């Protein structure tokens, strides 16, 4: 169980990253990709370990109950560090309780449905954590920067006309509110990378043969649209950070710091939900006692009646 002080410290730590619902975001002005809260990398190692342990505890409790589910959406520009963040932040949790879904260019089947269909199919179940590696937000990011994607979506003419992005923001907000109202908490992280850090990471992918597979020529073409993406991200953050599904802008130039922030955002979400292990009622307790007596009677000669209790005197 996390004490109140820890919960407060996590909340304070992530507060500067949260996009205040209703505020107007200008990424370049408002969020520094190099921010690190005055921390040093070596303090970060210990902190991330603490965060990962906390997440493991909370995920076990989330999995034991059957009311809440959590959806974490991760967005970033190329080389923003989504994969590494997922790998590190989720390193301590039980894989059975987590489902990671990556969204690429939509397939022909996906284009034959409404634009939220493929995301809805990958939502977590109650007790589960779903992670979207890219998410329904691509529908107002890459689709906006490259409108030919919208043409491929086979929409009725009115649905791609003027006001399409405002309408999509509203539809996404409504969808997330529906999920939140029905037990599924949505939390969203944007890994905010600087243009210079992206250049360095691309060059590393080119220079190291074992990283070459991660690089594609398309990455350079997308980089040329940097300013358009910054604008699309700023608009999207302004319109879709809501009290029921807030955005957090995580500084991503330092991977170690980004991972701590992502762990803290997820931990905060779980702490707020406060999932509890189900307790059993009086009747079930009587049945447990009865079963215990029967098992104790089966103890072979010389064996303790209850080996577990014998080892743990407090039971």
Which pair of structure tokens corresponds to residue 191? 């890994």
CB of 149 to ligand ATP, least distance (A): 4
Residue 143 binds which entry of ligand ATP, Mg ion, none, with Cβ cut-offs from 5 to 8 Å by kind?
Answer: ligand ATP
User: What's the min distance (Å) between Cβ of 122 and ligand ATP?
Assistant: 13
**In the complex, minimum distance from the CB of residue 134 to ligand ATP, in angstroms, rounded to a whole number:** 5
Selection from Mg ion, ligand ATP, none that 105 binds (CB < 5 to 8 A by kind) is: ligand ATP
- Report the interface residues with Mg ion, using CB under 5 A: 78
106: region left, alpha or beta (phi > 0 left; psi from -120 to 50 alpha): beta
CB nearer to ligand ATP: pick between 139 and 176: 139
- Contact (Cβ atoms closer than 8 angstroms) between residue 141 and residue 82: no
Which of ligand ATP, Mg ion, none lies near 176, with the C-beta cut-off 5 to 8 A by kind? none
Quickly tell me which residue has 């990962």 as its tokens. Answer: 52
Residue 88 binding: pick among ligand ATP, Mg ion, none (C-beta 5-8 Å cut-off by kind): none
**Shortest distance, position 137 Cβ to ligand ATP, whole Å:** 9
Closest CA to 260 of 40, 75, 78: 40
Residue 129's beta-bridge partner residues?
70, 98
Element (H, E) at 284: helix 282-297
**Cβ closest to ligand ATP, residue 232 vs residue 249:** 232
Which residues lie near ligand ATP (CB under 6 A)? Answer: 78, 82-83, 103-106, 134, 138-139, 142-143, 149, 214
CA distance 90 to 153: 34
């Amino acid at each position: 169980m996390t004490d109140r002080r820890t919960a407060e410290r996590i909340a304070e730590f992530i507060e500067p990253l949260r996009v205040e619902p209703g505020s107007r975001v200008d990424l370049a002005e408002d969020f520094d990709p190099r921010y690190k809260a005055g921390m040093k990398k070596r303090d970060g190692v210990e902190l991330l370990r603490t965060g990962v342990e906390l997440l493991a505890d909370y995920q076990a409790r989330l999995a034991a109950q059957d009311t809440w589910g959590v959806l974490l959406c991760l967005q970033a520009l190329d080389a923003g560090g989504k994969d590494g963040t997922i790998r590190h932040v989720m390193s301590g949790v039980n894989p059975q309780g987590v489902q990671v879904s990556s969204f690429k260019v939509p397939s022909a089947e996906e284009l034959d449905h409404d634009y939220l269909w493929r995301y809805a199919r990958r939502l977590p179940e109650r007790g589960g954590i779903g992670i979207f590696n890219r998410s329904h937000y691509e529908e107002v990011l890459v689709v906006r920067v490259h409108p030919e994607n919208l043409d491929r979506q086979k929409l009725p003419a009115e649905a791609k006309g003027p006001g399409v992005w405002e309408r999509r923001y509203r539809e996404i907000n409504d969808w997330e509110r529906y999920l939140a109202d029905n037990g599924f908490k949505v939390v969203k992280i944007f890994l905010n990378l600087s243009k210079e850090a992206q250049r360095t990471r691309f060059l590393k992918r080119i220079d190291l043969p074992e990283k070459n597979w991660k690089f594609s020529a398309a990455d350079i073409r997308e980089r040329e649209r940097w300013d358009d993406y910054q604008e699309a991200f700023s608009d999207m953050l302004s319109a879709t950070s809501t009290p029921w599904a807030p955005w957090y802008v995580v500084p991503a130039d330092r991977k170690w710091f980004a991972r701590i922030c992502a762990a803290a955002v997820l931990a905060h979400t779980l702490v707020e939900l406060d999932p509890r292990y189900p307790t059993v009622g009086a009747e079930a307790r009587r049945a447990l006692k009865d079963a215990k007596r029967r098992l104790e009677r089966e103890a072979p000669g010389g064996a303790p009646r209850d080996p577990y209790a014998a080892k743990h005197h407090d039971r």
